[in-house]
Amino acid sequence: MANKSNAPKNEQGSSAYQKAGVDLVSGYEAVSRMKKHIARTHRPEVLSELGGFGGLFSLANLQMDDPILVSGTDGVGTKILLAQQSKRYHTIGIDCVAMCVNDVLAQGAFPLFFLDYLAVGKNSPQMIEEIVAGVAEGCVQAHCALIGGETAEMPDLYHAEEFDIAGFTVGAVDRQQMLLPDNVQEGDVLMGLKSSGIHSNGFSLVRKLFFKDHQWTLQDQLPSGKLLIDELLAPTKIYVEDMMPLLSKQLVQSVAHITGGGFYENLPRMLPAGLCAQVELSSWEIPEIFRIMQSLGAISTREMFHIFNMGMGLIFAIRPEDEAKVLEELPAATRIGQVIKASDEHVQLLNKGESI
């Protein structure tokens, strides 16, 4: 059902539809619960209210000479199964927003608006509110408006407590400020921003390692004292606010969002042919959760970097002469490597100068 707010006050729903497993009244309650969360994301460019057939967003005030719209869509993957199992729904919406907005950010675009698609087996207004509250929080962090969405109750496709969520975002960048691989040159410096954990990739392997192969429970403690479920459901970091000052001052040449495929799949996407990302692994501490998984699965370091972000969620290239300016604007950034010439590889991992 669409996220509409104009149902009749005394609407009791369709008894025939309810017998088929779809509860319209609960759907209206869920929409009512969403309103206050969606209101947090409002921007003056939003021209529509919840309940229309489409979300309206004005581009009239974009202060760009040649604006280019950049779109992105993604979901959360099997991380959702852990949210279902633990009945903790408040962060999974942040993940959905993050996976989309970080991608458009990698093109140099600032996110403008977001829409979500939420499919459930049974319409539980409280669960839906928690999920959408997370979506709204992600939009607040990304400085974009949540202008619409869809909540679909599909009892024959999902079990009662199952759900899935996907999202779609649109951002904008001035054509002259687009981040493209051809911007990168030999000698550019690679800077990294730390991840908040595993983010939202690789969870089929994560679940296999912990729960199928080694029978951990969600309430088990890591050596640090943190509960496993807290670590696994830590929401994906949204990098929009961090990167805004750098992008506005044109200090960034190219960006890689480290998602599925890890370093080996994502770093080449920010480089032109003939150049290689040389990364020094000793420049940051690999987080505990990755070291535990590597040990549990007896996985090589090289393969771990093929799968996970390994503690670096966003990597960007800058000119060497801009490093001091970048660190002044963004002290959380870490120099992790450089761009070198290479004809036969796009990623080279070093451990204290030695290739792995």
pLDDT digits (tens, 9 = 90+) for 171-184: 999 999 999 999 99
Query: Per-residue confidence at 95, pLDDT binned at 50, 70, 90?
Result: very high
**pLDDT given for residue 29 in this prediction:** 75
With cut-offs at 50, 70 and 90, classify the pLDDT of residue 28.
Answer: low
- What pTM, to 2 d.p., does this model score? 0.92
CA gap 134, 234 in Å, rounded: 12
Give dist(CA 15, CA 326) in Å, integer: 61
Q: What is the pLDDT of residue 91?
A: 97
Question: Which of the four pLDDT bands, split at 50, 70 and 90, describes residue 21?
Answer: low
For 169, phi and psi rounded to 5 degrees?
A: -130, 155
Could you tell me what percent of the chain has a pLDDT over 70?
92
Domain final residue pick, 177, 205, 228 = 177
- Indicate if 170 and 212 belong to the same structural domain: no
Q: How high does pLDDT run on average in the chain?
A: 93
Q: Are 48 and 6 in contact (CB under 8 A)?
A: no
Closest C-alpha among 199, 174, 53, 196 to residue 115 = 53
Checking if the pLDDT of 315 tops 90, the result is yes
Question: 249-259: per-residue pLDDT in tens?
Answer: 999 999 999 99
Mean pLDDT within 137-156:
95
Check whether residue 29 and residue 138 sit in a common domain.
yes
Domain match, 225 and 266 both: yes
- So what's the pLDDT on residue 232? 98
User: Is position 7 within any domain?
Assistant: no
Task: Categorize the per-residue pLDDT at 356 as very low, low, confident or very high, splitting at 50, 70 and 90.
Answer: confident
Any domain includes 217: yes
pLDDT greater than 50 at residue 260: yes
* Residue 20 pLDDT: 66
What does the pLDDT read at residue 22?
Answer: 65
> 270-304 burial by CB neighbour count: b if 16+ within 10 A, else e?
bbeeebbbbbbbeebebbebbebbbeebebeeeeb
User: What values do phi and psi take at 322, rounded to 5?
Assistant: -95, 0
**How many domains does the chain contain in total?**
2
**Domain encompassing residue 207:** 181-355
Among candidate residues 158, 177, 196, the one where a domain is terminated: 177
Would residue 3 count as lying in a domain? no
Q: Using CA atoms, how far apart are residues 324 and 164, in angstroms rounded to an integer?
A: 43
Domain boundary among 127, 162, 177: 177
pLDDT at residue 26 greater than cutoff 80: no
Question: What's the pLDDT at 4?
Answer: 47
Q: What is the CATH number of the domain that holds 35?
A: 3.30.1330.10
